[in-house]
Structure 1
Amino acid sequence: MTTPGAVTASEAGEPLECWCCAGTYQEPDLVRLGRHPEVGVCLACAHFLHQQARGREDRRHPSPASRLRDGLRGGRRLVIQRHWHQNRVIGRPLRWLGRRLP
């Protein structure tokens, strides 16, 4: 419980820590959990968590669309394993495509 007039870390402008990657971020760069506002996750980790949740939903409810998304996730894993996304020639288009696919 806070006392009236107390200044929290976010109000003071101090960087806060992501609960997932332990990086330091300012308050606008964190996503808070509804029932647990003490938990802050950075935007990159929030996107990663969303992708993981989507994959689990697809495994629980198979459909043609979920199979297509599984194929895309498999392709993304292959690109990252082989470091093709860092290639000077094809890396930039692959990163562009990766941001736009589910």
Structure 2
Amino acid sequence: MPTLEPVVAPCWCCAGEFAEVDLVRLGARPEAAICLDCARFVKRRAVARRDEHRRTPFGAVRGGVQRVRDRVISNGWHERGPLGAFLRRLDRFLP
């Protein structure tokens, strides 16, 4: 009985190995794929870049959240036990 190994491919961004179901293919460049975590990161960067060109109240809020996120990461708070777990979970719900 043959065993079916899941097809794995590298993430173009972080070089991690992921199953096809956990990758996002990039439209006209199907050979390029990024994992779901990197896709979320790239989306945040794209929205931040768009906010630089169009000043809006929502953009100001997103900028404030990003400054707090940068401070948390620079201080290493996201790696500290229960506090870190809470901050990482909270980050999933922030813009």
Structure 1 length normalisation: TM-score? 0.80
Question: Which ranges of structure 1 fall in alignment gaps of 5 or more residues?
Answer: 1-10
* Structure label with greater radius of gyration: 1
Cα offset, 1:13, TM superposition: 3.3
Report the structure, 1 or 2, having the larger strand content: 2
Aligned length: 92
Q: Structure 1: how far apart are the matches of 2:90 and 2:6? A: 36
Shift >6 Å, 4+ stretches: none
Q: Structure 1: how far apart are the matches of 2:82 and 2:18? A: 33
Specify the alignment match of 2:69 in structure 1. 76
Question: Which ranges of structure 2 fall in alignment gaps of 5 or more residues?
Answer: none
* 2:92 counterpart letter in structure 1: R
Report the structure, 1 or 2, having the larger helix content: 2
* Pairwise CA RMSD: 1.8
Specify the alignment match of 1:33 in structure 2. 26
Q: Measured at CA, do residues 34 and 97 of structure 1 come closer, stay the same or move farther in structure 2, by a change above 3 Å? A: same
Q: Structure 2: how far apart are the matches of 1:84 and 1:54? A: 25
